[in-house]
Amino acid sequence: MSCSAQTADLTSNSTKSNRKRKVAEIIAPIKQLYFHGPYIRQNWPFRDSLINYITKNPSNAKAWQKLIQPCKYFFAKNSIFVIDKLECENGSIVPLEKLIAVLPKIKSIFFYEDSDETSITSNTVKKLLELPHFSTIDTFELFNTTEKFDIETFFKYSKKNKHTRFIINFGNSISETYKKRIEEIVDEIIESEKHDYIPANIYY
């Protein structure tokens, strides 16, 4: 493994009476890690076809993380990062659709909305539906969302949805007018005897 680093020398002077000697501290923050080699070709007790299948088709994040920790061969061949938590670099709010746009292979979404710093706008649903991979998501769960969520566009799409399991939970801040519209949508779903789509679960 190789890394690029920038070194800064920090020198501190003691102000005590005995005046300790100057101490130079070398700080080497890592700017970027390169995990693409070199690596030693392993003598696997299995066929290369099996190793290639394991490398290209990790079963889940936990198993993949355990696999790449003792042997960087796998990561060099398939550079998938296992991320437990993402936090902001400068405090700006990132729209939900932009997060999902850069995750083309995502299969499950659980998103809890902060009503004070919302990541959902009136255009979010429309932008999500424009993503080619949105229709391939298995589960989409949205909690504590506000009435900025475009319920009309979503409901129109949901009546054609035959793959994704939607759970939409609205927070307490929605207006009475918005609640009434949700009730009408829920009633329409319930009153339909048969569905040729996967009905969304909507709560408020």
* Sign of the four-CA dihedral 146, 151, 153, 154: positive
Write out pLDDT tens, residues 118-162: 889 999 999 999 999 999 999 999 999 999 999 999 999 999 999
104 shares its domain with 197: yes
- Residue, of 35 and 198, whose pLDDT is higher: 198
Domain span at residue 134? 96-203
60 shares its domain with 101: no
Residue 87 has a pLDDT of 64
158 shares its domain with 59: no
The tally of domains found in the chain comes to 2
Which of 29, 44, 77 is the endpoint of a domain? 77
Contact in structure between 74 and 63 (CB atoms under 8 Å): no
177 shares its domain with 119: yes
Which of 77, 104, 131 is the endpoint of a domain? 77
176 shares its domain with 101: yes
In this structure, what are the phi and psi dihedrals at residue 21, rounded to the nearest 5 degrees? Answer: -65, 160
35 shares its domain with 124: no
Write out pLDDT tens, residues 31-54: 445 555 566 667 888 888 888 898
Going by pLDDT thresholds of 50, 70 and 90, the confidence category of residue 192 is: confident
Going by pLDDT thresholds of 50, 70 and 90, the confidence category of residue 29 is: very low
Residue 86 lies in a domain: no
69 shares its domain with 113: no
Whole-number Å distance between alpha carbons of 111 and 109: 6
